[in-house]
């Protein structure tokens, strides 16, 4: 669990720095390794809190081009609003505009869900190792480009068995 301690906190801006092992964040995918670092500040005004922080964690990924494992640093900025509202917190409701509700007697704000969601969303869809990012596929695998050059060229003629399908095309 990633918890921001708020017990006895006075109004104002307070720095927060949390470092925790990825194993302690429930539901974090196996790609993440090492530690999750949360660094930022929490502002308190009455019954409202606002957290501005940056998240950092390392993801061990497999390159889509070379199938090599590589480590990618995932960095994300988050902003979270929290309000003390015991009734809604007991029901698990969110307040307006995605404001997290906590109970009056809570001593911490659990930001594990926000951290997990943000880190997972920021995993790259295209996973290419740094060594291959600025190279074309032909540069990485020259034997594939040579094989394509040696292959017989396709003609523009269509097999007569497929010609019937042309009549189905809308003008």
Instruction: Decide: 73 and 60 in contact? Cβ < 8 Å.
Output: no
Q: In the prediction, which pLDDT does 154 show?
A: 60
pLDDT digits (tens, 9 = 90+) for 109-165: 999 999 999 999 999 999 999 988 888 777 777 777 655 455 556 666 777 887 778
**Predicted TM-score of the model (pTM):** 0.75
Domain coordinates of the chain in residue numbers? Answer: 3-133
Instruction: Look at residues 61, 51, 45, 36 and name the one whose alpha carbon lies nearest to residue 126.
Output: 61
pLDDT digits (tens, 9 = 90+) for 60-99: 999 988 899 999 999 999 999 999 887 776 666 655 557 8
As given in the structure block, the two tokens for residue 43 are 């502002």
């Amino acid at each position: 669990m990633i918890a921001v301690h708020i017990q006895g906190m006075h109004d104002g801006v307070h720095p927060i720095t949390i470092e925790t092992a990825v194993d302690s964040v429930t539901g974090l995918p196996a790609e993440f390794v090492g530690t999750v670092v949360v660094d930022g500040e929490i502002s308190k005004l009455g019954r409202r809190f606002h957290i501005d922080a940056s998240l950092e964690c390392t993801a061990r990924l497999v390159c889509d081009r070379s199938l090599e494992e590589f480590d990618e640093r995932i960095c994300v900025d988050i902003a979270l609003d929290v309000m003390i509202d015991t009734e809604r917190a007991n029901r698990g409701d969110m307040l307006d505009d995605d404001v997290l509700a906590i109970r009056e007697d809570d001593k911490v704000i659990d930001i594990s869900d926000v951290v997990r969601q943000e880190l997972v969303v920021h995993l790259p869809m295209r996973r290419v190792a740094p060594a291959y990012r600025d190279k074309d596929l032909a540069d990485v695998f020259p034997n594939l480009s040579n094989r394509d050059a040696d292959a017989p060229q396709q003609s523009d003629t269509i097999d007569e068995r497929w010609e019937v399908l042309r009549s189905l095309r809308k003008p």
